[in-house]
Chains A and B, each alone.
Chain A
Amino acid sequence: MADVTFLDVRRLQAEADAADVALAMDEDAFRAFYDRTAGALWGYLSRTSGDRQVADDLLQESYYRLLKATVPFESEAHRRNYLYRIATNLVRDAKRGPRPLFDAGVEMSDMPAPESRVDAEGRADVRRAFGRLKPRERALLWLAYAHGSSHTEIADVLGVKTGSIKLLLFRARRKLAATLQPKVKA
């Protein structure tokens, strides 16, 4: 989490209290939910968009749209899936913009210092390979293997039929593996 002083938080709280606007959650519930989900969502956004700046912007936008949503959430999982669906749509819309995402893709200077040059090269290869996938394929793979989401959850987030997830995952896996290891045919 970014550094914020206690005084900043008090000032922000006082100003927020003054604002008389209706949002879908109260502050405590929102902050608890945010703390549970923000890190993972940022990872999802940064890897599916391929751009950290975009991920920062879309993170704020995703939570704002969630707060403005009038959907009655049945459970925490439902709310989280809805949040990821918003994020997925935002990434898809961002891809239509002029800014290239995943272009030569790797911000090596921004990365934490890798253990070795081999590690750094390996990670660069993974990112480059990930960057060659379509946004939906990236989202599929990330949800399945980084989050361990079920096919039903993935289908809910991506807005596709549950029955098609298996095939889509199979294709996305082969495509990523083919880029990582040329002996694998996509």
Chain B
Amino acid sequence: MTSEHHGYEPKPTDAEIEAIVVEAIAAEAALARAEAAPPSSAIVWWRAQMRARQEAARAADRPISIVHGFAIACAAGLALSLIGSAIAGVRGSSGWLVDVYRSFSTTAAPLASIASIDLTSRWVTLPITAMLISGLVATVAVYFIFADE
């Protein structure tokens, strides 16, 4: 009696399984060959050349970017030191102005009030610092705009 008479099908052998797979993949491979439409070698070569060129240019630009960053950091440091000097200078000159005014007039009360401004207060230093930083950023932005062109 065969297995069909017992109501079950025999398991496929490894060779049969391989035949199923080989047939399926061979059909799919034939279809893939028919579908394949790769771009021409000239286009692929050209794209590769262009990309290699762009990457080379980017690699060459990288040290320049580092120098730009260093220059900006130096400029920022310089600007901060100038801000410090300017604040000290303003304090000194305002005191000197009050002294001059006092020498001419005994009613120097209004000018004295200017000298009494506390330049270390954040309400004074913050706007001044913001203005100076804005100026610095604007200068750097203008530089990059024209550098690109």
Q: Which residues of chain A have a CB within 8 Å of any CB of chain B?
A: 1-2, 4, 8-9, 12-13, 15-16, 19-23, 27, 30-31, 34-35, 38-43, 46-47, 52, 56, 59-60, 63-64, 67-68, 110-112, 122-123, 126-127, 129-130, 141-142, 145-146, 170, 173-174, 176-177, 180-181, 183-185
Contact = CB atoms under 8 A, between A and B. Distances in A.
B11 A19 contact: no
Given A16-B50, A63-B44, A112-B31, 11 more contacts: A1-B39, A4-B40, A12-B45, A15-B46, A21-B53, A23-B52, A59-B39, A60-B47, A141-B21, A146-B25, A174-B17
Nearest to A68: B52
A137 to B, nearest CB: 11
A69 to B, nearest CB: 12
14 contacts: A1-B37, A23-B52, A27-B45, A31-B41, A38-B38, A56-B38, A123-B31, A126-B27, A126-B28, A142-B29, A146-B28, A173-B21, A177-B20, A184-B11
A183 B48 contact: no
Given A42-B36, A42-B38, A145-B22, A12 B12 contact: no
- Counting contact residues on chain B (CB < 8 A from A), the size range is 35 or more
B49 interface: yes
A183 B20 contact: no
B80 interface: no
B24 A176 contact: yes
B104 to A, nearest CB: 76
Nearest to B44: A63
A20 B49 CA distance: 8
Contacts of A9: 40, 42
B68 interface: no
Nearest to B19: A177
A176 B41 contact: no
A125 B39 CA distance: 29
B108 to A, nearest CB: 74
Nearest to B20: A177
B102 interface: no
